């Protein structure tokens, strides 16, 4: 075995966490440039940081039972409870089996009809912005993916509740990220109202979801949405069903994990395509197979559009990192990984690793041409994770992004303001520093 290179930032211990909190992506890039594909760093506690696909394969698939979710995920527990993103062990496996039928092909086809209807209405709403001031693309994509998530999950929801949820999701993410990256601010957050506002937001959200569950149980109705599937799911071995708390946790996990990732991915795609007329032209050529929005079977007739979506998820992976904690002493690629070690796996850097990708910083959908994908190592590209805990909603997200992107590009041109630049700002998902603003033409 050999020692893991250490990335050191000066002699003052606080320098590293402060610099990381200020600009995580730049900080990590510097570490990889100086130390190679794996290094260790102290950020209040020590992390082993990697972009080596062999680490991802070891941790996520080959020896996944020797790892548990990292401490950073625990920050989400007040919001996601013990849902699939948080839970571990036998409980996670049971819940995964109960939730899995929600994402079978037949159910996805049914949910796709809802996606199409909402997207068609969204296109008509956007017409009022054509030829006017630049729009906040982040906000618009959050709007349509939230509508899709809420409609497929709960059925109908009033506009006031939807708008309140949008605000709370953004506010909650900022709050949780601040607690993890800037723990020195915790005393201030306790007295400046941030803690109190977070608890108030969570109380509102919980009340709303539990009310949906209660009303559905009392109604006797069985509509075709994900909430009903959660209510009906039964453990084949025990005959048990989920209680209200478990349904609440999985419902909020589906909503939180299922809409902002897609929205963020779509925002970055539109930003890239606003400077890629050749790619836009090829998407539009495929879009001749539909009039307003593509049907489920028409997605198969648009392979290039799928390539564009997958390249967007390579260059701008919404879930930009993941952390696992070693539960045993072990070895990965000749490096010692003691029990209790936190392994910080950078999906963002994996997808931009110059030893794995040709011209890694360029937006090139040909990276996902069929023959290229066939010959690429599996663990070089992991926008949805890998192994037993691969994102359960992967196909839902890809289907949604391909549908919305094709419909938008067929109908509108998205144009950048000359000189306007957008920076990367990783929170729980990979957001932008100053918002993505584009003109509709």
Domain boundaries, the chain: 15-440
CB 146 within 8 A of CB 165: yes
Closest CA to 392 of 239, 201, 272, 233: 233
Closest CA to 432 of 220, 221, 281, 266: 266
* CA atoms of 435 and 417, how far apart (whole Å): 13
For residue 13, what pLDDT is reported? 61
Element housing 345 (H / E): strand 342-346
CB 54 within 8 A of CB 374: no
CB 72 within 8 A of CB 183: no
What's the token pair of residue 432? 């932008």
For residue 14, what pLDDT is reported? 67
What's the token pair of residue 280? 């836009």
For residue 441, what pLDDT is reported? 96
Give me the residue label for tokens 């013990």.
Answer: 82
Q: Which residues of the chain have pLDDT under 50?
A: none
* CA atoms of 196 and 437, how far apart (whole Å): 32
CATH 2.40.40.20 fits 15-440, yes or no: no
Count of residues in the chain: 441
* CA atoms of 322 and 55, how far apart (whole Å): 12
* CA atoms of 69 and 237, how far apart (whole Å): 26
CB 201 within 8 A of CB 165: no
For residue 12, what pLDDT is reported? 63
| Beta pairing class for 135-136 and 330-332 | unpaired
Q: Which residues pair with 344 in a beta bridge?
A: 49, 323
């Amino acid at each position: 075995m050999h020692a893991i290179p250490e990335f050191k930032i000066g002699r003052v211990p606080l320098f590293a966490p402060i610099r990381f909190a200020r600009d995580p992506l730049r900080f990590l890039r510097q570490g990889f440039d100086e130390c190679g594909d794996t290094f260790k760093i102290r950020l209040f506690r020590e992390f082993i940081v990697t972009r080596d696909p062999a680490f991802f394969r070891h941790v996520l698939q080959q020896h996944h039972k020797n790892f548990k979710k990292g401490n950073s995920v625990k920050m989400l527990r007040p919001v996601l409870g013990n849902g699939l993103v948080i839970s571990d062990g036998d409980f996670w496996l049971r819940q995964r089996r109960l939730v899995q039928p929600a994402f079978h092909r037949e159910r996805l086809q049914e949910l796709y009809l809802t996606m199409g209807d909402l997207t068609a209405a969204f296109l008509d709403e956007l017409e009022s912005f054509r030829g006017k001031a630049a729009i906040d693309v982040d906000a618009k994509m959050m709007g349509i993916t939230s509508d899709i998530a809420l409609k497929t999950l709960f059925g109908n929801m009033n506009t006031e509740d939807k708008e309140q949820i949008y605000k709370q999701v953004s506010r909650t993410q900022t709050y949780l990220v601040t607690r993890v990256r800037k723990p020195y601010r915790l005393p201030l957050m306790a007295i400046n109202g941030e803690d109190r506002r977070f608890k108030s937001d969570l109380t509102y959200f919980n009340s709303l979801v539990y009310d949906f569950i209660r009303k559905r149980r009392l109604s006797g109705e069985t509509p075709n949405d994900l909430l009903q599937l959660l209510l009906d799911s039964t453990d084949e071995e025990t005959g048990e069903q989920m209680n209200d708390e478990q349904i609440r946790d999985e419902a909020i996990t589906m909503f939180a994990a299922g809409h902002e990732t897609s929205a963020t991915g779509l925002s970055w795609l539109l930003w890239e395509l606003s400077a890629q007329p050749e790619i836009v032209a090829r998407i539009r050529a495929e879009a001749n197979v539909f009039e307003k929005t593509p049907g489920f079977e028409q997605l198969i007739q648009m392979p290039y559009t799928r390539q564009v979506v997958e390249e967007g998820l390579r260059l701008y992976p919404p879930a930009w990192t993941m952390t696992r904690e070693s539960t045993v002493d072990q070895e990965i690629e000749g490096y010692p990984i003691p029990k209790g070690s936190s392994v910080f796996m950078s999906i963002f850097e994996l997808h931009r690793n110059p030893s794995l990708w040709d011209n890694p910083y360029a937006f090139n959908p040909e990276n996902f041409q069929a023959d290229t994908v066939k010959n690429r190592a599996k663990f070089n590209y992991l926008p949805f994770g890998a192994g037993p805990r691969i994102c359960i909603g992967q196909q839902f997200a890809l289907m949604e992004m391909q549908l919305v992107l094709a419909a938008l590009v067929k109908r509108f041109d998205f144009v950048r303001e000359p000189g306007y630049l957008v920076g990367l700002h990783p929170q729980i998902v990979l957001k932008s520093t100053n918002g993505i603003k584009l003109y509709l033409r």
